[in-house]
């Protein structure tokens, strides 16, 4: 029997967090080996296990996988969270790319200069409420199903819930104009595997703070 996937990254959210989310939603236990110093990262590079000298890196099924999108696609397909045919996969991909764009804006906010943070936070809220969330609200309304694609939990749903919770950390009432997304959040948060991941003490990482920003800057020479 294959061992648990092993995740190599810093002890924070970053690009690995969506991978943690997807594994957790699939009910897959995983181990983490944290990169805590510049030397830890350099060792992975000199060992030749990072194809492009970058993390995240996930050891799974005998592979040392890099590139966030490739890792997520593999996990989604392996654990039946990637639709039943090419068309469903295309819809899942489109929805995921949208939430990835929004989450990227939120992810980089703590790393931005103090004098631009307020402006960028306002932009995140504006984009979430006028560009991204209306798409998902409309999708749920038009097909009347509980999930975004094929009325079955998929990677698109897991990613959307992660994005919603990140956006709520920026503005707690950000879903006030989106009743179907509020209901979606309630439903998906109560799926047993996801509910477990949302409990204190899980491998979900807290919001990025100044201390973590300083650690990341040191490790990656930012």
Structure confidence by residue, pLDDT tens digits, 129-169: 999 999 999 999 998 889 999 989 999 999 999 999 999 99
**In sequence order, what DSSP letters do the residues of the chain get, joined into one string?**
-----EEEE-SS-GGGHHHHHHHHHTT---EEEE--SHHHHHHHHHTT--TTS-S-EEEETTEEEESHHHHHHHHHHHTT-S-SSHHHHHHHHHHHHHHHHHHHHHHHGGGS-HHHHHHHHHHHHHHIIIIIHHHHHHHHHHH--SSSSTTS--HHHHHHHHHHHHHHHH-TTTTTT-HHHHHHHHHHHTSHHHHHHTSTTSSPPPPP-HHHHHHHHHHHT-
- Quote the pLDDT of residue 1: 45
pLDDT on residue 89: 97
| Alpha-carbon distance values, 196 to 9, 157, 190 (Å) | 22, 16, 9
Tens digit of each residue's pLDDT (9 = 90 or more) over 191-213: 999 999 999 999 999 999 999 99
Within the chain, what is the greatest distance between any pair of CA atoms?
52
Per-residue pLDDT, averaged over 168-178, amounts to 97
Q: What is the mean pLDDT of the chain?
A: 95
**All structural domains of the chain with their residue ranges:** 6-79+198-212, 86-191
* CATH number for region 86-191: 1.20.1050.10
Question: Is the fold of 6-79+198-212 the same as that of 86-191?
Answer: no
- Kindly report which listed range (31-35, 176-180, 217-221) carries the lowest average pLDDT score: 217-221
Say if residue 39's pLDDT is above 90.
Answer: yes
Please give the CATH number for the structural domain made up of 6-79+198-212.
3.40.30.10
Instruction: Give 2's pLDDT tier (boundaries 50, 70, 90).
Output: low
pLDDT for res 144: 83
Per the CB < 8 A criterion, the answer to whether 184 and 160 are in contact is yes
């Amino acid at each position: 029997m294959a061992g648990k996937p092993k995740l190599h990254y810093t002890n924070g959210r970053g690009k690995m967090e969506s991978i943690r989310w997807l594994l957790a939603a699939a009910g897959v236990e995983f181990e983490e080996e944290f990169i805590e110093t510049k030397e830890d990262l350099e060792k992975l590079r000199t060992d030749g296990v990072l194809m492009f000298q970058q993390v995240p890196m996930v050891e799974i099924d005998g592979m040392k996988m890099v590139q966030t999108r490739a890792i997520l696609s593999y996990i989604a397909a392996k654990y039946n969270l990637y639709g039943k045919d090419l068309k469903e996969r295309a819809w899942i991909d489109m929805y995921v790319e949208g939430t990835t764009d929004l989450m990227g804006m939120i992810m980089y906010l703590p790393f931005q200069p103090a004098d631009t943070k307020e402006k960028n936070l306002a932009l995140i809220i504006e984009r979430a409420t006028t560009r991204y969330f209306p798409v998902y609200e409309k999708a749920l309304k038009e097909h009347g199903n509980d999930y975004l694609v094929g009325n079955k939990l998929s990677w698109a749903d897991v990613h959307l819930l992660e994005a919603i919770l990140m956006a709520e950390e920026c503005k707690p009432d950000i879903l006030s104009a989106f009743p179907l997304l509020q209901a979606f959040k309630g439903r998906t948060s109560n799926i047993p595997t996801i509910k477990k991941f949302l409990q204190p003490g899980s491998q979900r990482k807290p919001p990025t703070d100044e201390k973590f920003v300083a650690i990341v800057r040191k490790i990656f020479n930012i």
